[in-house]
Amino acid sequence: MKLVRFRTNDKDKNGVVINGGLVEINPSLLDAAQSPFDDLERKEFYHLDEVKILPPVHPSKVVCVGLNYRDHAEELNMTLPEEPILFIKPSSTVIGHEDNILYPPQSHQVDYEAELAVVIGRKSRLVNQEDALDYVAGYTILNDVTARDLQQKDGQWTRAKSFDTFCPIGPWIETDLDPSNQKIGMKINGQVKQDSNTKNMIFSVEELVEFISSIMTLNPGDVIATGTPPGVGPLQVGDVAEVSVEGIGILKNEVSHI
Ligand code: MG
């Protein structure tokens, strides 16, 4: 099922996507993710175009994986990493579906990166691969927006990855998905720029949960961004970026001036 947070009449609500719209539900999305659909108390129905979609979670941190697609490593002529390369985007980067990505004046090359995102459902510390998916509430879509010139200039990635609005996520959490074999892509203004499959990931979702939870505690609602396939490129003000992951949907954001 697809679990969504939305705003209507200035109230933030939880819902489940159904029949081209959504139905309000009582429990939080992370609680709903652990319930069978039939057990959810369902309330009013809304059409998708009459509500504002919100980011599905407020993560305490977004843990991102650097190079994690074999085809992307080949594109860059890089050897495959032996361990995941991690970095963190602060929670202040997070925006939702159809919110604007704000182009910062400090950068002259802001890139898009289409990614599958894992939403953590339970506190995770020292989790084994075998149990990893029990700690996952579901999956959403993420655009790891990056000021590439500042990433190269700084060496450290924090500034380049951390501008406000640099982490669009959504539009919802899909609880039923095989993360190991889904098409993933990016369109800019309707033109295909990235087109791959999550089966090309170097480190699986299970391996990432084990690796990351051996370093830091993952809290419910935290997000793991699993890396981007080949075809990364620049965004311009006015561009519309659409990340798609098969089985989840499309995350769409326009780029605008601050
Ligand atoms: Mg990335």
Does 97 score more than 90 pLDDT?
A: yes
Residue 219, pLDDT score: 98
Which residues in the chain belong to E strands, given as ranges? 2-8, 11-18, 21-25, 42-47, 52-54, 62-65, 86-89, 94-95, 101-103, 110-112, 114-120, 136-143, 146-147, 167-174, 183-188, 191-197, 223-225, 233-235, 240-245, 249-257
Does 154 score more than 90 pLDDT?
A: yes
Residue 75, pLDDT score: 86
CB 98 within 8 A of CB 55: no
CB atoms within 10 A of CB 52: 14
Cα–Cα distance for residue pair 175/172, rounded to 1 Å: 10
| Amino acid type, 219 | N
Centre of ligand 1 to C-alpha 227, Å, is 5
Question: Minimum mean pLDDT among 26-35, 141-150, 200-209, 212-221: which range?
Answer: 26-35
Residue 187, pLDDT score: 98
Does 22 score more than 90 pLDDT?
A: yes
Residue 139, pLDDT score: 98
pLDDT exceeding 70 applies to what percent of the chain? 100
76 confidence band (pLDDT: 50, 70, 90): confident
Residue 214, pLDDT score: 98
Does 19 score more than 90 pLDDT?
A: no
Cα–Cα distance for residue pair 257/238, rounded to 1 Å: 9
Centre of ligand 1 to C-alpha 66, Å, is 6
Centre of ligand 1 to C-alpha 137, Å, is 21
Angle at 196 between CA 75 and CA 52, to 5 degrees: 120
Kindly state the DSSP code that residue 37 receives in the 8-state scheme: G
Centre of ligand 1 to C-alpha 127, Å, is 23
Residue 55, pLDDT score: 98
Does 127 score more than 90 pLDDT?
A: yes
Number of H helices, E strands in the chain: 5, 20
Residues 6+ apart with CB under 8 A from 141: 114, 115, 116, 117, 169, 170, 171, 243, 244, 245, 248, 249, 250, 251
Centre of ligand 1 to C-alpha 44, Å, is 37
Neighbours of ion ligand 1 (CB under 5 A): 113, 144, 228
Centre of ligand 1 to C-alpha 39, Å, is 37
Q: Residues 2-53: name the CATH superfamily.
A: FAH (2.30.30.370)
- Mean predicted confidence (pLDDT) in 182-208: 98
Return the structure tokens found at 47: 């059409």
Q: Residues 213-248: pLDDT tens digits?
A: 999 999 999 999 999 999 999 999 999 999 999 999
Centre of ligand 1 to C-alpha 200, Å, is 15
73 confidence band (pLDDT: 50, 70, 90): confident
Q: Residues 77-95: pLDDT tens digits?
A: 989 999 999 999 999 999 9
Q: Is the dihedral of CA 165, 171, 177, 178 positive or negative?
A: negative
Mean pLDDT, the chain, integer: 97
CB 60 within 8 A of CB 91: yes
Residues 6+ apart with CB under 8 A from 41: 25, 26
Cα–Cα distance for residue pair 102/214, rounded to 1 Å: 34
Residue 149, pLDDT score: 97
Does 20 score more than 90 pLDDT?
A: no
Centre of ligand 1 to C-alpha 116, Å, is 10
Comparing CA positions, the residue from 173, 171, 194 lying closest to residue 184 is 194
Same-fold call for 2-53 versus 62-257: no
196 confidence band (pLDDT: 50, 70, 90): very high
Cα–Cα distance for residue pair 187/215, rounded to 1 Å: 34
Angle at 84 between CA 79 and CA 90, to 5 degrees: 130
Enumerate the domain spans of the chain. Answer: 2-53, 62-257
Centre of ligand 1 to C-alpha 145, Å, is 8
Return the CATH number of 62-257, one of 3.40.50.150, 3.90.850.10, 3.40.50.720, 3.30.450.20: 3.90.850.10
